[in-house]
Structures are given as C-alpha cells and as structure tokens.
Structure 1
Amino acid sequence: MSWLYLGIAVIFEITVALSAGKAAGFTNLRWTIATLASGGVATYFLSLALLTFDVGVGYAIWTSVAGVGIVLLGALLFQQRLNWKKVVGIVVVIGGVVGLQLSGAA
C-alpha cells in the first residue's frame, strides 16, 4: 500500500509544479488554489507512504520521480526542450531510484 500512496503523492507533486507555473507568482487565484491544494494532498499521501519507507528514501523517490514526470510533461504539454543532457539526467535519476529500491527501501 505504501507504493500506492507514494504514487499518488508523486502525481499530486507533479500537479503542484504544473499549477505553480500557471499561477503566475500566485497572482492567478484559481491556479494558486490548485497549487496549494495539490501540495497539501501530495504531502498527506507522502506522509502515509513514510509510515513504511525510510524518510530519506521515500522523500528521495518522491522528489526524483516527480521531477522526471515534470520534465517529461513540460516537454509534452508545453513544448519545452528535451535535449540530450536532460535525457542523461533522467536516466541517472531513474538509476538512483532503482538503486534505492534495490537497497530494500520498502
């Protein structure tokens, strides 16, 4: 169940980043509310996942997977450039997450 909670937390963390980009420095009320609400939900589900995961490992996986998701969705939805350096970074992050999982994190 902790992996499900972590997955939900990742989805809402990605939502935080995408909403914050639209919030225009918190001047757009609807996107500001979406940013804050999704941040609360993301934190709640992360806290549930951390009942099983070590805090450092769970948090590292959460931020890493969300970061990769944000970069990929930025490229898909907002035509942001995805160059070879970003792809190498994504591969390194995924390798790190796999390494944490193989360490027996949860």
Structure 2
Amino acid sequence: MIWVLLVGAIAAEVVATSLLPRTQEFRALRPTAVVLALYAAAFVLLSRVLLELEVGVAYALWAGLGTAAVAVIGMLVLGERRSAGKLTGLALVIAGAVLLNLSGGGR
C-alpha cells in the first residue's frame, strides 16, 4: 500500500508542476487553486509514506521520478526540445531511483 501512496504523491506533484504555467503567475484563480490542492495532496501523501520508508529513499524516488515525469511531459506534450544529454540525464535519474529502492529503504 505504501507504494500506491508514493505513486499518488508523485502523480499529484507531477500534475501540479505541469499545470503551473496555466496559473499565469498565480493570477488565474481556478488553475492556482488546483495547483495548490495538488501540491498539498502530494505532501500529505509523502508524509504518510515517510512513516514506512526512509526519508532519503522516499524523497529521492518522489523528486527523481517526478522530475523525470515532468521532463518527459515537457518533451511529449509541451513541445520542449529533446537532446541526447537530456535523455541521458533522464536515464540516470531513473537508474538512481531504482538503485536507491534496491538498497532497501524500509524502516
């Protein structure tokens, strides 16, 4: 169950980050409310995850996989450019998250 919560925290953070441009620097009320609610949900879920996983492992997975997901969304949905360096960086972030997970992060 803890992994479902972690995936939920990551998903909430990724969607919130992807919606940030729509807030128009927090002047658009509805998108701003959605972004703030999603970030709040991400932190609530992450705080629950931290009851069972080490903070270093949980945060690395949350931040790393979230960053990778936002970068992929940027390239596939938002039209950001792709490069060998960017794709290599994404692979390294994912590899690092996997290695941290395999090292055992339970309490």
Report the TM-score, using the length of structure 2 for normalisation: 0.94
Percentage of identical aligned residues: 33
Structure 1 residue 88 displacement after superposition? 0.6
Moved over 4 A (4+): none
Residues 5, 46 of structure 1: 8 Å contact kept: yes
Q: What do the CA deviations read for 1:4-25 (whole angstroms, capped 9, x no partner)?
A: 1000000000011012121121
Gaps in structure 2 of 5+ consecutive residues: none
Amino acid at match of 1:91: A
Report the Cα distance in structure 1 between the residues aligned to 2:36 and 2:10, rounded to whole angstroms. Answer: 15
Q: Which residue of 2 aligns with 1:86?
A: 86
Structure 1 residue 73 displacement after superposition? 0.8
Q: Which residue of 2 aligns with 1:102?
A: 102
Residues 12, 42 of structure 1: 8 Å contact kept: yes
Report the Cα distance in structure 1 between the residues aligned to 2:27 and 2:38, rounded to whole angstroms. Answer: 17
Report the Cα distance in structure 1 between the residues aligned to 2:21 and 2:69, rounded to whole angstroms. Answer: 15
Gaps in structure 1 of 5+ consecutive residues: none
Q: Which residue of 1 aligns with 2:62?
A: 62
Report the Cα distance in structure 1 between the residues aligned to 2:96 and 2:21, rounded to whole angstroms. Answer: 27
SS at match of 2:77: helix
Report the Cα distance in structure 1 between the residues aligned to 2:38 and 2:32, rounded to whole angstroms. Answer: 10
Aligned residues: 106
SS at match of 2:38: helix
